[in-house]
Amino acid sequence: MKGAETLQALPVVTIIDDDVSFSKALVRLLTAADFSVATHCSAQDFLAQYDPDIPGCLLLDLAMPGLNGLELQDVLTARSSCLPIIF
Amino acid sequence: MQISFIAIAWSAFAGISLSMGLVSLNIWAKRIRLWSHLAFFFISLSIALILIAELLLLQAKEPATYGQILRWSHIPIFIFIASSVIFLRIYLKAGRLWLACAAIGTRLIALIVNFGVEPNINYSAINRLRTMEVWGGEVVAVAEGVAGRWQSLASFSSIVLLLFVLEVTVTCWRRGGYIERRRALTIGGSFIVVVFAVATNAALVHWGVISQPFYLFGTFILVVLAIGNELSNDVLRTARLAGELQQSQFELRDSERRLDLASAAAAVGAWEWDFNRDTIWASDQARFMYGLGRKGPINFQRFLAALHAEDRDSVRASVMQSIEDGQRFQHKHRVQLPDQRVSWVTTIGRVEAGADGGRRVLRGISVDISAHKLASERFREVVEAAPTGIVILGGDRKIVLVNSQIEKDFGYKRKELIGKSIELLIPQCLQSINESDPPGMSDRMGVPQEVLGRHKSGWDVPAEIGLNSIQGAHGAEMLVTISNITERKRRDDTLQQERSFLRQIIDITPGLLFAKDRTGRFTLVNEAVARIYGTTIDNLIGKTDADFNSNREEVEAFRRTDREVMDTLQKKLIMEEPITDALGQIHWLQTVKLPVVNREGYADQLLGVSTDISERKKADLDLAQQRNELAHLSRVMMLSELSGSLAHELNQPLAAILTNAQAALRFLGSENPNLDEIRDILRDIVSDDRRAGEVIQGLRLLLKKGEVQRDALDPNALVESVLKLLRSDMLNAGVAYSTECAQDLPRISGIGVQLQQVLLNLMVNSCDAMTAIPRPERKLVVSTELSAEEYVTFCVRDRGHGISTKLPDQVFEPFFTTKTQGLGLGLAVCRKLIEAHDGRIWASNNKECGASFYFTVPVNAGDAK
């Protein structure tokens, strides 16, 4: 979340995965490639802080407690979000 | 004056005579009935007067005086004769009455004549008195004159008297007897001599044949002495008799008192019935016995009234018979006592002479036999009521008594047996007793023997007899008790049959049955034991395991458990124990040992039942193997079903590793690589790799086949391990899971992989059951808790469709399934696995929705709290 605050106005890669170990690895890889990265451990967590004005993309895990990946996509579609999603 | 010898002698004679008469008068006056004494008094008095008259005659001076004295002297002579006749009649009880009257009558006439003529009957005239010298120069007067005309009348009177005296004397003599003859001699003799002498002398003097004075009257003193002697003898005898009488009265009184005391002590009453006078004398005891009161006269009527009304006639008849024929009578009768009690009395009596000699009386004794009668009635009742046959044999070995049991057992009537030999009932009853032995001397007496009796109808009656000698009323008797043992025989036979039947059951039992005593010796074995040890039952009895079993360890183990059971008095189950048979092969036994407790509460034997479980043991092993294989198969199938989720589970760490590795490469490619960052990355890679390894390890374990063993396991860790495997699957299925595990649970005893399999199966089923409901409601709860019976209970609860069958446990049947692609073996395998763990598995629907599945696993023995 801190990352998201420091990289304002830049396109942000948002990672949503309940597996902390995997999302941590992804953050490292994307940071090394000079991307701004934000992480959320669940779909609900992401939706709570979702700002449609920030450009970027979503790296989304399919199987998660609560809303899974596909359900989150449905929610974003319903909100007319145009965030590209990579599963 | 010259002393006259004659005067002295005559006076003395008169005095003697008079004093003797006065003694008799005295006796007469005191005992008025002795008239003979009064008569003797008159005799003595008259003789004294005659002697005085004679003395006066001898000393007379004038003829006229002489005549007058002689005349008056006839009065005492008359008295003498009259009283003599009376005396003789009374005293000697003899003499004819007319003769007596004639003697007195003629003398009375002579007396009257005497006073009618002058000067007297002897003389018509006395001319002069002549003096005559007698002994000692004494001079006496003798009359000389003419004899009277009536002189012969006096002489006749004397002759009559003489005749009377003679007749009395002869009669008396003839009676015989010492006393009678002596009296005849002394009294009769003296009278005869004196009367004859005096009469003859007087006649001769008067007729002038001889001339002498009248002094022969002095001889009368003879009569006085003779009578006096007899009378004094009588008095003496009377006195002696009186003394004896008194003595005998004392003795009688004493003996009566003694008789009373003795009879009271012996409860014997004495009595005497004078049946001529109808008076009954009875001792105090007899009066008491018949309730007749202590005083008052008794007669036969009153005696009969005291008896019981029914017995009066028979007693009367018996008594009359006895009086008639003089035989002894004996009678038992009842007495109606004043207080309404009835007592039994036995009376014995006979006719005897009475106390005064002549009279006959009925004399006897009575004994109160109520107590005896009661005792004998009781005896009879007891004998009758006895459930045992009783026979009493008399001294001649003949039956004198039998009871009703004998009639019942042998079919005879009582009267058919009395007087018969006992052999009629028990043919060999007395064989064991030597006939010559006196009763009671035989060794066989008192020892019960089994014999065969003979029923009246001829059949045998098995009996046990006992012979005892007893002292009966008529000497030694024999008491024979005869117990009919038909029933007992039959029971014995039945028992024998039952016993052999039981023996058969024992022997055909395939299990081993045995009993041993404290020293380990067999007291009972069956065929199965004999078979194992390759010997016979008979050969085993009294021997021990060590005699047949070559394996010392086994024998030791048997002895140890035997002792334990007998010492603790607790039964013991030995699940498995080996025994080596005669061929050296090992059999496996499951054995129960029970203590056989005796009355003192102490076990002196033990009873053992062993089942040969060798076959079962092999089958169990096969089954376990099958079960394990099935479980494995089931696991493999289940894991293959879960492979997608498991792949994801494995994929995650692998993807993280890959990404981390790429990131690290990038960092290293930069100008100033951040080494700290790279170090973190490598650390995470290690961690993820380990995580992936764990997943694979878990899968390997579940898929592993072969050796399984029980371990002590933490139930909650078991739950966690399964949840870890299923995590991603449940994420995919949208199932939210939670645990409610009790803390501080003891470890359980189980095979880890199999229990994981069961949990896995139940959780997968629960997830499947919730596919039809909205995602947020899909919840699964796993809980553990310790139940009271040393078991840990696991529960898997879902909110699915629940179990649709009526019997929730049906879901554990093989091939039961609700899934389209399931074989329906999962829960069946679960049940097998849990039961193999000595646990239980069951299911039930929840109140709201869904179902709960439970299973229990025993707490590890070492960890029980």
pLDDT-based confidence at B453, cuts 50/70/90?
Answer: confident
pLDDT-based confidence at B631, cuts 50/70/90?
Answer: confident
- H helix or E strand, kind and range, residue B543: none
Q: How many CB atoms lie within 10 A of CB B16?
A: 18
Does A2 score more than 50 pLDDT?
Answer: no
Residue A29's closest chain B neighbor by CA?
B663
Of all residues in chain B, what percent carry a pLDDT higher than 70?
Answer: 91
Render pLDDT for B497-531 as a digit per residue (tens, 0 to 9).
998 998 888 888 888 999 999 999 999 999 889 98
pLDDT at res. B440: 46
Does B581 score more than 70 pLDDT?
Answer: yes
- H helix or E strand, kind and range, residue B785: strand B779-787
pLDDT at res. B441: 47
B430 versus B198: which is more confidently predicted? Answer: B198
The whole-angstrom separation of Cα B378 and Cα B397 is 24
User: Quick check: helix, strand or coil at residue A83?
Assistant: coil
User: Quick check: helix, strand or coil at residue B597?
Assistant: strand
Token pair of B479 as six digits: 């008491």
The whole-angstrom separation of Cα B696 and Cα B690 is 10
Q: What is the ipTM of this complex?
A: 0.81
Q: Which residues pair with B611 in a beta bridge?
A: B590
Which residue, chain included where needed, has tokens 């395991």?
B545
Please give the DSSP secondary-structure letter assigned to residue B31. S
pLDDT at res. B607: 92
Chain B CB contacts of A28 under 8 Å are 659-660, 663-664, 667, 677, 681
Residue B778's closest chain A neighbor by CA?
A66
Choose the weakest-confidence range: B555-564, B691-700, B715-724. B691-700
pLDDT at res. B825: 67
Strands B736-741 and B779-787: parallel
For residues B258-283, one letter each, b for 16 or more C-beta atoms within 10 angstroms of the residue's C-beta and e for the rest, the string is ebbeebeeeebbbbbbbbeeeebbbb
Average pLDDT, chain B: 83
The whole-angstrom separation of Cα B34 and Cα B27 is 8
Chain A CB contacts of B660 under 8 Å are 25, 28-29
Q: How many CB atoms lie within 10 A of CB B33?
A: 7
- Residue B117 corresponds to which amino acid? V
The whole-angstrom separation of Cα B580 and Cα B672 is 83
Which residues of chain B have a Cβ shorter than 8 Å from any chain A Cβ?
648, 652-653, 655-657, 659-660, 662-664, 666-667, 670, 677, 681, 684, 687-688, 691, 728, 731-732, 734, 736
pLDDT at res. A77: 84
Render pLDDT for B283-292 as a digit per residue (tens, 0 to 9).
888 888 888 8
Render pLDDT for B60-84 as a digit per residue (tens, 0 to 9).
888 888 888 888 888 998 998 899 8
Q: A25 and B734 in contact by Cβ < 8 A?
A: no
Q: How many CB atoms lie within 10 A of CB B388?
A: 17
- For residue B591, which of B563, B617, B571 has the smallest C-alpha distance? B571
The whole-angstrom separation of Cα B331 and Cα B341 is 20
pLDDT at res. A5: 47
Render pLDDT for B802-846 as a digit per residue (tens, 0 to 9).
887 776 777 777 666 666 555 566 788 888 888 888 899 998 888
Question: Helix-strand-coil percent breakdown of chain B, rounded to 5?
Answer: 55, 20, 25
pLDDT-based confidence at B792, cuts 50/70/90?
Answer: very high
Render pLDDT for B405-447 as a digit per residue (tens, 0 to 9).
888 888 888 888 888 888 888 887 666 555 545 544 455 566 7
- φ/ψ bin of B802: left (φ > 0), alpha (ψ from -120 to 50), beta (otherwise): left
- For residue B54, which of B37, B77, B70, B34 has the smallest C-alpha distance? B70
- Residue B20 makes CB contacts below 8 A (sequence gap 6+) with B40, B44, B224, B228
Render pLDDT for B1-28 as a digit per residue (tens, 0 to 9).
456 777 888 888 888 888 888 888 888 8
- Residue A12 corresponds to which amino acid? V
Closest approach of chain B CAs to the CA of A55, in angstroms? 24
pLDDT at res. B793: 93
pLDDT-based confidence at B95, cuts 50/70/90?
Answer: confident
